[in-house]
Amino acid sequence: MAGLAFTTSGPTPGVLSEKLRIDSSGRLLVAKTSTSHSFPLQIQAASDANAIGIAGESSNDTSEITFYENDDLTILGQIQHKQDHAVYRHRVGYLRFDTGGITERMRIDSSGKVLIGTTSGSTAFAGDANNLVIVESGNTAKIVVHRKTEDAYGGNLRLGKTRSTTSAIDNNDEVGIIEFFGHDSTDTNSRLAHIGCYAEADGATNDVPGRLVLATTADGASTPTERVRIDSSGRVGIGATSPSSLLTLRQTAASHQIFEISRPNSDSPLFSGQ
């Protein structure tokens, strides 16, 4: 391969070793003498896998690589490393992460949403601004939180709420909710059920009473209705939003049974009440 080679003397006197070459196509080759690739700059890593080293500036050790559009003026993106963190910037669009060649696995879109298994989460599930969306086929759409420590504690899923960065929650504020959606042949905007936690008083220092609510969607409806509530005093209401005893049962229609007790494999109730 024709070109211009740069050599230095090696450990043996009089023996020169090629270090850098500009080949006939104008490609700059470092620590290699030939190539089948078209990249303008190609570097062969050393035996210790080192190929490129970038030293940070003297004032704060920051170093970066900047990518420009063809006009040499408009910045496309940057990779920046500081002493305590790294920054990956892209001027417009999204960041995409591929594995197994060019198969997309995850992207962070321009609004900061993290999308796994999908390229858009803007209209999924009631059109909300979902910050994390996972869409997978088969049995792979799962989230696992597994704690491996020599103690009595397990994995945690924590949902929280503040009125602002430091303001206490207000009475009846929704603190956290788990919602279940299903496709209705049109979209995935209809909820089948939800489990929610709500404040039962204004928040005060180390004093945040709450309630749990279980809601399901009735046949012919598209939004859940509260069915069970556990209030801040531990009282359970089934069909009752203000339970007055440890267990309060309330039916909306006077002709309907409130509860039933029966034996296994028997259609005849032992006891029922209205």
Q: Which residue has the higher pLDDT, 138 or 3?
A: 3
Nearest Cα to Cα of residue 126 among 198, 183, 195? 183
Number of Cβ within a 10 Å radius of residue 38: 8
CA distance linking residue 97 with residue 14, whole number of Å: 49
pLDDT tens per residue, range 2-27: 789 999 987 788 788 889 999 999 99
Q: Of all residues in the chain, what percent are helix, strand and coil, respectively (each to 5)?
A: 0, 40, 60
pTM of whole model > 0.85?
no
pLDDT of 274: 60
Nearest Cα to Cα of residue 89 among 71, 63, 121, 65? 65
CA distance linking residue 258 with residue 274, whole number of Å: 5
Three-state SS at 148: coil
Task: Give yes or no for a contact between 99 and 107, defined as CB atoms under 8 angstroms apart.
Answer: no
Q: What angle do CA 117, 119, 120 make, to 5 degrees?
A: 115
Which CA distances in Å does 17 have to 32, 38, 52?
Answer: 11, 24, 20
pLDDT tens per residue, range 44-99: 998 898 999 999 998 899 999 999 999 999 999 999 999 999 999 998 989 999 99
N-to-C CA span, the chain: 96
CA distance linking residue 224 with residue 195, whole number of Å: 10
